[in-house]
Chains A and B, each alone.
Chain A
Amino acid sequence: MIILFYIAAIVAVISTLCVILQSNIVHALIYLILSLLAVAVIFYVLGAPFAAMLEAIVYAGAIMVLFLFVIMMLNLGKISTDQERSWMKSSGWVAPGIMAAILLAQLLNVLGDYEYDLVPVEVGVMEVSTLLFGPYVLAVELASILLLAGLVSAYHLAKK
């Protein structure tokens, strides 16, 4: 199990790196799906099978399909790939890279001395649902209102 965690972590990092370095948008999307699936494997290893499956169903299965659908609708072909490549040549990488590196260093610094070995215990669907419809029922309601708002506004925005 523990080796699975590290394999999935390496896959996730490399494929995410491919996402932000890729100029072809469809390839980038496939790498992003791979990254999300790797994270789902990590969730499973960490004892959250429900979250892992939701990650695969909702994130990789539904949200990314929306992306792909929009890419198809906009018909971003070879021209946009070339354009993307020309945009990526610019030196705009330096400052954001440094900023992100500083952030990462800070986080690593904070997390480095936090040592605790976690033993993955499976937290099943039942516990999560008991919490969801118990103390966190307000969160569920808010999430549903948020989704409704998203639905209405997406319909309004994408309408001709």
Chain B
Amino acid sequence: MKQILSVVLLLAMGWFLVGLVPLGQPTEPGRVAQHYIDNGIDENRGANLVTSVIVNYRGFDTLGEVTVLFLSVAGAGFVLRRRDGLVRHEHRPSSEILQTGARMLFAPIVVFGAYIFVHGHLSPGGGFQGGAVIASAVMLLLLADRSHHLPHGLMHWLESMAGFGYVMAGVAGLVVAGSFLSNQGVLPLGTWNRLFSAGIIPIIYILVGLKVGTELSSLLDVMIDTGRPARQEGGRS
């Protein structure tokens, strides 16, 4: 009965969605977007307009987004902190070949992640993507070698400093140009389409990349280190 009900509900919702969406009509940018497109280069010098929108025009939202990510990681860490009902994994080293490969690949993957977040204002990519790539390198290392310990002190320091730096960049805009996270006059805007351009945008994206990378790495560390249930039997699966 419930199954049929849910199918009917879904069909109704699908019908509603299909009616809501303008199928097959190309959309033109709205008034705000047209302003960003026309003036984005003059105001920010970042070739990637999406980055300009995220880090500058809607930079305050991104600060909130970074906070949400931090809170969810902190929440996951808090939920998984208590270990009652769980025992630690017994230590089973993986193959020597795999460990060597993981350690060999770690550095290139981190460089690739750094490349992505440093070039966030020039090409597709940015702090969140680059941070995720770096976290994938850490995951590779952790999965290949469970005995590997992350430098938690360094990571916490980096993470807090990155968040602090983001807010400080915003305050600098407030002091110099009179509005939080303003990009005018804080740093020279530079030339279009070169690496050192777009004022504080690359700085903020580098900070976001470091923050996301360290946050996701600690999340993976907590999840891998959780252990398995003490009892195996019982319960429908």
Whether chain B is bound by chain A comes out as no
Give the interface of B toward A (CB within 8 A).
none
Give the interface of A toward B (CB within 8 A).
none
